[in-house]
Structures are given as structure tokens and as C-alpha cells.
A and B are shown apart, each in its own frame.
Chain A
């Protein structure tokens, strides 16, 4: 409570001070100040630095006082591949409208285009980053906002490329409306709690579109993850909420829309998994609610790799997947109820919208493919249909109790 009051007072004082005392320092080729570094040195706390259009060859810029740095018509800050470009080490810094290029690459240090270290209440918005190593790196900071940034990398190999947006021990960060492509991981969170990741697009990245490690109570929603090397990985985290995201076209051997590993008590609602080799790959994840998701045209909609207990799959649409569910064991402790399965062939005599025969989403063939992967070439063969049918009648290799007792006969809309 005390901290909150303090917080409010601080905010108010900031507001007042910025209104009453702030001055503007202009930076341009013909101005009295021609570099950003000089402008920062010259400026008083809570001043605004306005950078005019032009190219500024600078790196290692330290923002050590609360400043608002605004670019007009996207001035270019060229790091000349020499190191980190901007490092924020003060609270209450706003960076807006810059075009940062040529960040230095190093094997020992993670140079970023913009780094925020141990700071609070920062805003980074409308920034464009190109030719970068790491993009925006938030380190042990909190209460920041990253809005409308565009990060376009040119990563070729995983070992010498960095991440687009990286959070490390940072809490309460809002990441919205950013666009990240061609870096290693689009957005990476490690030990970062209570963050909101919303309306971002992360595409064509070498490894993951979004990568979560040891981060709890985060929400990500309305994002699009498309065509990334391995999709989205959520690992070792608790109470994550994933709403209305789109996972698309993540193709490849070790590729999936989403990888869940050691995830507990998450909610996965309203997402669309379309044309991924594996829609969701689940390992050691418990008490997760899957509801109102669309799984469409995936190789495997859901692949369960074991040690997954009391998960609930309720009211999802499974549409035209090569395999709906794959299990590698005979034990099942998860619930499937009231889903729509396009592969369902039963009937509904009482017309209540629920099929009269339970649906068995795990096929014998998925078990065979798991054992001998080359047999995938026999997918949709008449012979396979016949053996799948016999397995359906009397399960020998697949979990006996894995049934949707109330398969819906119409696609669900919500």
C-alpha cells in the first residue's frame, strides 16, 4: 500500500515537473547540438530531445536521466556495427520514432539496439530496428511499455544471432502491436512475470516466434505466430493465459504451433492452430484447460508425449487434421468432451447435436507412425483405414478410455 502511494506521488510529481520545467533540445546537422550523446549530456532531467531527420553515426549512447527522446521522420542512428547503440539506465525514459541500424555482433556480449537496464516506467514506441543482433533487451526492469515497434533482422544461423524482444528478470511489461521477423526468437521471456503480450506478429524467425522460460502469470493474446522455425515454446512456467492467438504454418521435423513443456495451470482458449506439423506438442504439463480452440489442417493437432495429467479439452474444433490426437502410451488421464471432430463418422438419431457413438481420437496408425516414421507414406490408404477401424472396435495399442463421449455433430462457433 505504501509503495502504491509513493508510486502515485512519484507519477504526479513527474507529470507536474514535465509540464512546468521541461525544455526541448534539438539535434540536427546544422543545430548547435549535432549528436544524441551531446544532447543527453546537455539536457536536464525530464527534458525532451528532438532529433531531426538525418543520419547519426553513434553507438554506446547512455541515457542516464529521465528523458523523452523523439525522432522526427525517423532519423537513423547508425551503430556502425561497433557495439550496443542505446542503453537506458534511468527510470522514466521514453524513446519514440527512431530508426536504429547496424548493431555490433559479439560472441561474448549481447549487444542490443536498445537496452533497458534496471529501470522503471520506460516507454519504447514506434522504433524501427534493422541489421541487428539483439533488438530490444529489457533487463531487470519493470512497468515498461513496448508499443508499435518493428524489428526486422537478417538472421541466418542460430549461434550468431540474437532475439527480437528479450525480457530477463523483468515484470509488468506490456508488449503490444510489435512486428518481429527474421531474428532468432521473436519474443523471449525469461524469469519475467505478470507481462502482457498482445496483438504482436512474430514471423519467419529462425527458432521460436515466442519463447517462455520460467515466467509465470503472463498473458498473451491476439498474437500471430507464423512460419517460425519451430513455432512457439512455453516451458517451465505456471498460470499462463493464452487467448485468441494464431499459430500458422510451422512446418518441419521438430516444428509445432506450440510446445508446452512443464506447464501447469494454464488456460488455452480461443486459439487457432492451422497447418502446423504439430499443433500442440505437450510434455509434462498438467491441469491445463483447452477450450474453444480451432485445430485445422495440422499434421498432428495434439501430440501428447507423456506425463500429462488432468488436462481438459472442451469444445474445440478438430478440422481435417491428418491425426487428431497422438499418444505414446496406453494411459490416459485427460478429458475430452463436447469437441467437434471432422473425422467423426457416427450418427445423431435424437438430433440433439451430440453424436450417439463416442469418438476415439487416437488412431492405431498414429501409434504405428510413432514407431516407424516412414509408414507415414501410407496415410489415408484403404488398408490403414481398415486396421484403424478394427482398432476402433477393440483397442489394443491405444488408450482404452480415451474417448469423447459427447462428440458434437456441428462445428462450434463462439
Chain B
């Protein structure tokens, strides 16, 4: 597996797209910090970018990589290699190289800005960790979609739909549900609803840092326990890990049964 991972990773690290992705984040970091000169504002803008763009890029890139490397995959399949390790290796290769572009692209300008001495370092690290998690989750989801759809166009379509659903539509339905049932106690429901969508989950995790003052304004006991203690942070991280593990398990399951 690690050999596959190594080759997929180096293959991707040399591809044009990795550079574009890396350059994009580098530029974003520089523009936010050096033109704006306001760390708090930069962190808020970054959060919006991370919870919207990272999943989109992870999904598109994952699907694209899978379809583009089909022949290579077939070459590997004929080698004495275990199937799960081939797909896991490729998946990790994509997810790792995307995460690295993100972390380095944003990290470098922030280090030059003198972030290490600033107390925004925790907010920022949390942003990067969440971004990396989102990359891993959405690349895994993309692999799932691509493995289940031989047709490229269909695969891309589903991938975009998935992103659209989780990034926007889900929250719309969520909001409507909450407003419709506003007479009932909803704090548990709303927390569960958040856990079921990795984008919402990541957003909540970042809210814990950026908007804790507002979150504590709500009366519900469950909310209070969730946001007022480290409980929320721990649960959110556990859920993010679950969100990585589940699609990866399905990749492994699917890889054992798929025909090429």
C-alpha cells in the first residue's frame, strides 16, 4: 500500500493541478494577510473558503484522478498486489497531496506574517486541520462515487450534486425543518443534523473558536454542554474521524467486488 501511496503521491505532486491548487492557496494567503493586514478578518474569510472550496476541490479532484488513472489501476491490478491496498494507496495519495497543497499554500504566508507569535495560531491551526479532514472526507466520497459509476459524465454529475447538496441544499432543508418544528425542543435535533453533514460539522468546529460568544447565548442545556465544554470539540473530532472511516471502508468493500 505504501508503495502505491508513494507513487500516486509523487505522481500528483508533479502534476499541474497540484501546483495550481498550491499556488491558489499561496496567493489567497498572501492577499488576505499582506493586502488586508488584519489577521482576524483573514481567518474568517479563510473559514468561508475552506468549508466551501475544499470539499468542492476534493470531490472534483478525487473523481478526476480516479477516472484518469483507470488504466494505471488496471496495470496495478495485474500485479501481485492486494486490491484494497491499491485503492487505499491511491486514495491516500490524492488526499495527502491535496492536504499538503492546502496546508503549505496557506501555512507559508502565515508563517512569514509572524503567525507563530500571534495568538491566532490556534484558530488558524484548527482551520488547517479541519481543511485537511474535509479533503480526506470528500476525496473518499469522490472515490466512492467514481467506483460506483463507470460513466465519467455521470460520476462528475453525482460528485457536483453531492457537493451542492452538502454545501448548500442540506442547510436549507435543515433551516426549514428547524423553523417548522420551532415549538419543539430542537437542540438535540440540530446537533445531530450538524453531525450528519461533514461540512456543517467542520463549520461548527470552527464556530467553537470564532463565535463561541454567540453560541453560548442559547439556553438549551444540551447546547450548553456541547459548546460550553470541551465536549463539543471532542465529539466533533470523533465525528470527523468517523466521516473519514466510513467512506474509506466502503472503498475497501467496493474494491474487493468491483470488475475492471
Contact = CB atoms under 8 A, between A and B. Distances in A.
Interface in A374-395: 374-386
B214 A382 contact: no
B217 A278 contact: yes
B51 interface: yes
Contacts of B28: none
B79 to A, nearest CB: 43
Contacts of A278: 217
B213 A299 contact: yes
Interface residues on A, range: 20 to 34
Given A299-B217, A319-B40, A372-B178, A382 B51 contact: yes
B69 interface: no
Interface string B151-195: 000000000000000011101101100110010001101110110
B35 to A, nearest CB: 13
Given A253-B219, A320-B40, A374-B178, A381 B213 contact: no
Contacts of A368: 175, 179
Given A252-B216, A368-B175, A379 B182 contact: no
A344 to B, nearest CB: 11
Interface in A330-346: 342
A366 B52 CA distance: 22
B217 A253 contact: yes
A251 interface: yes
B207 A380 contact: yes
A376 B210 CA distance: 13
A381 B200 contact: yes
Interface stretch (B41-49, B109-117, B249-257): B41-49
Contact of B171 (A299, A323, A373, A378): A378
A367 B49 CA distance: 25
Interface of A: 251-253, 255, 275-278, 297-300, 319-320, 322-323, 342, 368, 371-386
12 contacts: A251-B212, A251-B216, A275-B213, A297-B40, A319-B40, A371-B182, A379-B211, A380-B47, A380-B51, A380-B210, A382-B171, A386-B168
Given A253-B218, A299-B211, 11 more contacts: A277-B216, A277-B217, A297-B213, A298-B213, A322-B210, A322-B213, A342-B41, A376-B214, A377-B200, A380-B206, A385-B48
